[in-house]
Amino acid sequence: MSSNNTNGDTLKMDTVKSVFLLAGLLLLTVGTNGRRLHQPVEKEDDGSRTGRSTSGLPPSVLLRTPYNGSVDDRNDDTVYHYAVYDSYSKGTNHYGLMATMDVYGFSLSRDQETAAAIWVGNQPSQDFILVGWHVKPSLYGDSRTRFFTYWTKDGFLTTGCYNTACPGFQLQADARAFPGDVIDPVSETNGRRQNITIKVYKEDQTGDWWVHYGFNSNPTAVGKFPKSLFTGLTDSTADFAFGGYTYNAITQLTPPMGSGSSQTGSAASFSDLQYIEQDGTVSAVAGNLPSYVDNRSCYSVTPIVNGKFFYGGPGGC
């Protein structure tokens, strides 16, 4: 893995429209080999934001506000799509989450983004942390795949930034990786998979949120979001969401998500999903969480089985 610091160090959020999740649940069956991924429990979700760049940051899927649809009604030239799981509706609060994701690369236009991430949030306070991998030409000026972080304390309205573009995320002195680093090589859709493992957890004694990262290896400390950044994430447990999302201008087709395939066997995956508890022990992520997939003609998720699920699709919608 090679390093490449963020070119968009001045990028700040100006405004983001949050998202609405429908309350209906629908249980569907597991997909079989060679078929499109079937949808487990499902809800609708989407939204957008604008900033100094021409592309956006996804509103947290943990937000619950009265907005429904894929196009931002304030800035109706932007679209987000999601294929994620969310612990919020289950009322299961934990101190952290760990997951392994295979990573992929795509050549995208400036007005497109594809990503896979973990959201950490506290809905009442609208404190959120986002950690994962993405391809985002508007931020870096290229289509290389990168490890990234983001934080906000007001629901993506006026606070927060990517990586280390503003005061917030504090790097570990001996960190082996940095937010904004290029991930190379990336997975081949029908070949060898390259993985990153991300661990995000709250240190019980300090209340700081630590990020660990590993490329085809066990994760090591990258840095932390200090307790002083937040209100709701300081003295309470958190809700989590995880999965894939895409962004595009409304004039363009949706980009690929995950591996770009929705076929079982070649779709991208999250695996080794584990919650981290207050005492540092881990517990398996249950398979009964609801998923949120807003465009089934483009993207899919499978049920979580033994801490693993597949997600994504070719886009082109």
Q: What is the average per-residue pLDDT within 1-21?
A: 35
The tally of domains found in the chain comes to: 1
Let me know if residue 6 belongs to a domain: no
Residue 76 clears pLDDT 80, i.e. is over it: no
Give me the pLDDT at residue 237, please: 73
Distance CA 71, CA 135 (A): 21
79: pLDDT confidence band, cut at 50, 70 and 90? confident
Let me know if residue 175 belongs to a domain: yes
Give me the pLDDT at residue 151, please: 93
pLDDT digits (tens, 9 = 90+) for 176-206: 999 999 999 999 877 899 999 999 999 989 9
**Which domain does 302 fall in, by range?**
13-312
The pTM is what?
0.79
**Where is pLDDT greater, at 40 or 80?**
80
pLDDT digits (tens, 9 = 90+) for 88-117: 656 667 899 999 999 999 999 999 999 999
Let me know if residue 239 belongs to a domain: yes
Let me know if residue 22 belongs to a domain: yes
Q: What is the average per-residue pLDDT within 142-161?
A: 92
Residue 140 clears pLDDT 90, i.e. is over it: yes
Let me know if residue 7 belongs to a domain: no
Non-local (6+) Cβ contacts of 36 within 8 A are: 262, 263, 300
Let me know if residue 221 belongs to a domain: yes
CB atoms within 10 A of CB 193: 17
The count of C-alpha atoms lying within 13 angstroms of the C-alpha of 130, restricted to the half-sphere facing its C-beta, is 26
pLDDT digits (tens, 9 = 90+) for 233-250: 877 678 899 999 998 999
Q: What is the average per-residue pLDDT within 121-137?
A: 89
Peptide bond before residue 185 is cis, with ω within 30 degrees of 0: yes
Let me know if residue 230 belongs to a domain: yes
Residue 31 clears pLDDT 50, i.e. is over it: no
Q: What is the average per-residue pLDDT within 209-215?
A: 98
Strand, helix or coil for residue 6 = coil
Q: With pLDDT > 90 as the criterion, what percentage of the chain qualifies?
A: 55
Give me the pLDDT at residue 174, please: 95
Per the CB < 8 A criterion, the answer to whether 17 and 4 are in contact is no
Q: What is the average per-residue pLDDT within 31-51?
A: 31
220: pLDDT confidence band, cut at 50, 70 and 90? very high
Let me know if residue 66 belongs to a domain: yes
